[in-house]
Structure formats: structure tokens, C-alpha cells
A and B are shown apart, each in its own frame.
Chain A
Amino acid sequence: MRNSLVLDKNYLSYWLRQIRQKMSLIAPIRVGNLGVVLKTVENIHEIELNCPASIPSAKEFLFPQKEDMFRLSEGTVDILRNDTKRLIFGVRSCDISAIALLDRFFGENFVDDYYMSRRVNTIFISIVCNNPEPTCFCLGLGTGPFLKSNFDIQLTDIGDRYIVETYSKKGSDLIKDYYYLFSKPKKSDYETQYEILLSSQASFEKRINLENARQKILIERISDPFWDWIGRRCFECGGCVYECPLCTCFNVLDRVKSEGSGTRFRIWDACMFKGFTKIAGNIWPAEKKGTRIKQWYFHKLLYYPDHFGKFGCVGCGRCTITCPGHIDMATIVYKIDIGDKRRR
């Protein structure tokens, strides 16, 4: 159930300080000239409130880059599982939408315990983007700049106050204990919120239509030379995959201390890497760079909608920022949609 309240900005740090006594608090913090990253907060005043989506995405708190799976020592197996209670504050709508999709992916058929044990112990407070970045294109995908459902708590900055919306039970429980900080919104608050949402929607620079690109791929069949041409600009750095909040491929490795003891861990892997599909006996399905890029885009543009009914992209624009070859989602979709002479 969606519920709206109002929180005075002066109370925010008090509220977060109170919550931090119960669980660890993670929020966007500016680190030197690296930009904004999600980190465990030491000083509440360091939190960046008006920042773009962090790089890397919030997925690393649910599906870390390197995660120990179990420890083996003298024949006994310790299953490692992280269940610290966490509040992740200040993530953006795109990340919340991505996590809603990850919940479905990791929760279907075989349930991924590692993801789930982290997920049930994590609460998100998202902030509506009043000023989307030039790289953002969540508007066309319905994953931002604000959310209507599937969030825990959502804040909208309306000047000196926040409109606090709760959707999940986890979210409303977090508010319940601090009810004295919140007040009921006035009619004018709703009006201001509505204006802000409209102006935010209007200020998107990128208008990317993934559905058009999907239709073109399905109907016109983009030829392989197009992907090979894109492949020539790929550095195989894997940046797009690592930054993408919806990429979930991993590799499983063992770190052996001595014989019969050590840790098995999983680590992010990327379909952009050359050896990703190579199997023993020298069979190599996706050897060519173009094939791998095609697989990535087809996964996000075709297979995700087929399976989940949603695109495997939330329009966060992280690949646009990261890709050194400028062959990110927005560019490729634009090329497919608008047309490129090399496409056919």
C-alpha cells in the first residue's frame, strides 16, 4: 500500500542516526575525484543527497563482486551467508527497478540463497531524481525518475521537506518507530511534488525507445556484420557488464589454503570476455567479439522481455559513462532505431 508522509529536512540526519543504531547504513558518498560511490556511512553529513546514480550500482550489496560461498576445512563444510541488516539510503529509482527484476531472476526455479539472505535483510530508501543526468534514459522504460510501486521508501525533495512514500511492509515498519518525525502532507505539498515530477520528466535529454529497437531486431533482423562493426570498437573491458545493475553472470573458483581446506567463492564474470563460453575440446561458441556483443544486447532487448516482460535495461546510463568505445546501450539502440548505413 502506498502511503505518503512529510519529513522536514532537518530531521533527516536524526532519523538516519536513529536507524543506524539498529542496522548498518550505506549511502552515496563522494570519494575524492572518483565520483560518488555507495559506502558504509561514518559521518551522516557526508551523504550526497543530490547526486546522480552511483557508480558502481547497488547490485554489489546483494550480489557482491566477490562472494564467499562456503569454507572447507578438514572435511567439514561451513556455508557462508551474509545476513547483516542494512539500510541502503539514497539509491535511485533505476536501481530499485533493477533490484525488483533481480529478485525475480534469483528467486525463480532454483532459489539463490546467497542473494536472498542478503536481500531479505536489506531495506532501500530511494530518492526521486529531480535533475536527471544527461546520460539517463529511464523515462522511456518506466523505471524512473520516480516509482509508483515495488519500493520500500521513496523520498521526493520538495524544497525544505521530503515527501516520504512507503510501499512495502519493510518500509512502513521503518517509519512506524519514528512516527513523531513525520507529519501528514498538505494539499500544497502534493502539488509541489507533482510539479517536481513533471519538471523532472521534462528535463530528460535522451529519448531512447528500446521497444522500437526490439521490433526492428525482430522484424528486420540486424545482420551479423553490424555487430562485427560494433565489435571493432569494443575493448573487451567488461565495464558495461560490471556496471550494469542487471548483469548477473558469475564464475565459481576455489581458493585453496592447504589440501582439503580453503574457500569456494563466486566472482562476477562477463559475457564480453573472450573465454566466457569456451569449453574443453576447443569448442568455442562465441569466439568473435561481435557475437558476444550481439548476445549481450539480445539478452537485454529480446530475452528479458520474453521471460520477464521487462527490458533488461533500466536506463541508468552507467554503460554510457563507462564504455570507452562509445558502444553503450543508448548508442546502439539509437543506431538500430534511427538507422545506420552499415546496419544492412
Chain B
Amino acid sequence: MKTKIKGIYIPSKAEIVEILDMTPVIKLFKIKPKRQFRYKPGQFVMVSLWGVGEVPISITSTHGLHEYIELCIRRVGHVTSATNLLKPSAKIGIRGPFGNTFPMKNARGKDVLFVAGGLGIVPLRPLITSIINEKNNFKRIALIYGSCNPTEILFKDDINIWQKKGMHITLTVERKDKGWKGNIGLVTEYLKRPKLSFRNAYAFICGPPIMIKATSNGLSLIGMHEDNIFTTLEAHMKCGVGKCGHCYVDGKYICTDGPIFSYAEIKKHSLFD
């Protein structure tokens, strides 16, 4: 049951505690909200910058594990460019968390495959962390992660930890540089690399729209069930609570019905178009 919440449009204050440069355009913000809240993997918050606007940003930290809420933001639009200029101890507004979560419980006892492209690792990170932390409940866990070039591989420390804990990891880049000895190419070329029983496996995908499209199609061709392929979509949002109508596609509000949809739902509602 969904509960009724009041004061849905009023952002609460949050303080930026630490900023880490991931790449020249991507920064990791550790923020401390005034009002603590629980959140689940895959949910997002509306980050509000006074005078600039609000943007939906996925939470990349895990509730209970990380001290602060971590948001990984790339400089692309108005608000994210303004966020990029902020310094530690700056105050921002946040609303949330909004959206649904990944169906982690359903994946128990099965193989789990993560496919991430570029910044797509961000919403998947809390899910990967929570699944690895209860590894015994799952069979094999694998990650295929594609980036533009080796310097743009995010969360390298986390990836090392995941690998140590027994996750099968395939890293691939589109353009290699001098030091790179790994795979080259798109993630779709490496979908069969992890030895999983695809028929029963669960897949969680995130990345640019074109990559999500190609990957989910590729996975269903390998033999995965379309109900077991999950991805998180993004859209223009102003409210995050299913009122402003910007993210309304084919009878679904990306913000309240999503952002996580199964490939079967996406196909049914043609959410890609």
C-alpha cells in the first residue's frame, strides 16, 4: 500500500560534506540531509538548487551502509552544471526518496547479471552492494561494465572489492588508451562472457537509452525471460510524485510507477519510444 504524504513539494535542507572528482565532468557528492530518511536501491531524490531548478538524481549509496547519501552527478544540463560548481559545506535542497526499487527478493536463489554503461553503474551500485552482502542467497553474480575509455570507469575501488568477494566482472571500453589491456567494444559483445544459466537468471541494466535497448534485446535473444530483465529509465521530471506530467509515457509515470521497469513492461507500453 502506498501511503499518503503531505508537503510533497517542499525540499528539506541538506549539506554537502565531501566532493570527490570521479572524472572531469562527473563528481561524487556526499550529502548529509537534515532529516534522515530510509531509501532503497534504485530510488532517486529531487536535488533542488535555489534559483536554478530541480533534477532527479539516483542515490548511489546503500542505506545503513554508507554514512552519507551519495549522489553521482555528471555535468550535462543547467542544474547539474550549477551543482558541479558547488563546494563542500554548501547547502542544497532535497526531496525524496521517490520511485520504486529493484525486485531484489525475486532474484534470490538465481544467477544475477548486471550490465552497466558509463554512468549507468550509479543506480546499480546500491543494488550490487546489497546483493553481494547477502551473497549466499544468490547463485552466481556477474557484472559487465562498459565505459567510453579507461579513465571513465567509475567506482574502481568498489569494483575491486566486488571482485574479491567473488563477483565475475567484465570491463570493456570503447576507446582504449596506452595502459589498457582489457576488453574493447560495447557491452553487448560480452553478454555471453559470464557463464550463467541465462534461462533463470535476473538481469539489471542501466546506461544510455540506446545501450539499454540493445542490451535488453540481446539478453532476451540469449534466452532470458523478458520479465526478469530490469532497467531504470530516466525522464524530464519536475515533481517526482506523479503530478507534473513531464515523465508520463503511455499511461505510466516514470517517477511513481518506475523508474524501474521490466523489459516486458517496457515493450508493452513502448516506453523506449
Contacts and interface: CB of A to CB of B under 8 A. Distances in A.
Interface residues of A, number: 43
Interface in B117-168: none
Given A110-B243, A113-B8, A280 B54 contact: no
A77 B244 contact: no
A159 to B, nearest CB: 44
B234 interface: yes
A266 B249 CA distance: 21
Given A113-B8, A280-B76, A302-B251, A256 B51 contact: yes
B77 A280 contact: yes
B50 A250 contact: no
A252 B248 contact: no
A278 B237 CA distance: 10
A252 B236 contact: no
Q: Interface SS of chain B: helix, strand, loop or mixed?
A: loop
B104 interface: no
Interface residues of B, number: 38
Interface string B218-251: 0000000000000000111011011111111111
Contacts of B50: 72, 254, 256, 260, 262
Contact of B244 (A252, A254, A303, A306): A252
A254 B53 contact: yes
Contact of A248 (B7, B80, B234, B245): B245
Contacts of B5: 110-111
B52 interface: yes
B4 A109 contact: yes
Q: Interface SS of chain A: helix, strand, loop or mixed?
A: mixed
Interface in A262-312: 262, 266, 269, 271, 276-281, 283, 285, 291, 295, 298-299, 302-303, 306-307
A117 to B, nearest CB: 11
Interface string B44-86: 0000001111110000000000000000000011101000000
Interface of B: 2, 4-10, 50-55, 76-78, 80, 208-209, 234-236, 238-239, 241-251, 256, 273
Given A110-B8, A111-B8, A114-B9, 14 more contacts: A105-B243, A109-B2, A111-B5, A111-B6, A112-B243, A260-B50, A262-B51, A266-B244, A278-B236, A280-B76, A283-B209, A283-B234, A295-B249, A298-B250
Interface of A: 69-70, 72, 77, 79, 105-106, 109-114, 248-254, 256, 259-260, 262, 266, 269, 271, 276-281, 283, 285, 291, 295, 298-299, 302-303, 306-307
